[in-house]
Amino acid sequence: MSNELQVKADFFEVLHDRHSVRSYDPSFKMTDEEIRSLLEDAITSPSSSNLQPWRFLVIKDQETKEQLLPIAMNQQQVVEASAVIAVLADVEGYKQAELIYGRTVEQGLMPESVLTGYVARLKTIYGEKPELYRDTALIDAGLISMQLMLAAKARGLDTVPMGGYDAAKFIEAFKVPSNLAPVMLIAVGKAAKEARKSLRLSVDEVTTWNTF
């Protein structure tokens, strides 16, 4: 990275130190290359049938961030952070099956017969009921969002995930195609103030063993 950020290598430190930062140094700008590198790490995320339905809209120009501000309830991090990455889910992501599995076959990672079977199965499931894929795409987009935030923290950066925005206005203002569902906005940048402390319910409060 072309700055003096502290890169954290210890996974558990990254995990426990990540908290939502809502105040950023506005003079700190990530380069396109740095954002690309962050996304390269994030896209190692798993996805159902490896269909990778996540899509990103990187909002980096100051003017565009200003445009997003009122749509995101005037949350100041939108304009102060280096970038806001909108994570979107392609609710028609199953249509990418042939492309993805085709490349997988080309690279010798899957026999052609498996490709044919997979594609046929997906066509049966989602061809008749495409709405069934929506939840799957949203789950996959949630997983990648977490990876993105941890990958940022490992680079000494901070993030805040945001659901506090008007999705309809966001879709209109940013001309989001109809197959993409906005999942969350993630502001990323260099913290100006530490995150507020937050607590967690205990493992015992959220865990049941074997059956309910």
The verdict on 184 binding ligand FMN (CB under 6 A) reads yes
| Chosen residue from 44, 107, 198, 202 binding ligand FMN by CB under 6 A | 198
- Nearer to ligand FMN by Cβ, of 153 and 155: the residue is 153
- Residues 6+ away with beta carbon under 8 Å from 205: none
CA distance 49 to 166: 31
The verdict on 161 binding ligand FMN (CB under 6 A) reads yes
CA distance 42 to 8: 16
Binding map of ligand FMN across residues 44-83, x = CB under 6 A, - = no contact: -------------------------------x--------
CA distance 139 to 116: 25
CA distance 48 to 73: 33
SS3 content of the chain, % helix, strand, coil (to 5): 45, 15, 40
Contact (CB, 8 A) for 188 and 82: yes
The verdict on 159 binding ligand FMN (CB under 6 A) reads no
| Chosen residue from 20, 23, 96, 179 binding ligand FMN by CB under 6 A | 20
Where do we find the tokens 């740095």?
34
Contact range with ligand FMN by CB under 6 A, out of 15-23, 92-100, 116-124, 202-210: 15-23
The verdict on 85 binding ligand FMN (CB under 6 A) reads no
Q: Which of 125, 119, 128 lies closest to 97 in space, CA to CA?
A: 119
The verdict on 150 binding ligand FMN (CB under 6 A) reads no
> Smallest distance from the beta carbon of 6 to ligand FMN, in angstroms?
19
> Smallest distance from the beta carbon of 75 to ligand FMN, in angstroms?
6
Binding site for ligand FMN (CB under 6 A): 19-20, 22, 75, 160-164, 184, 195, 198
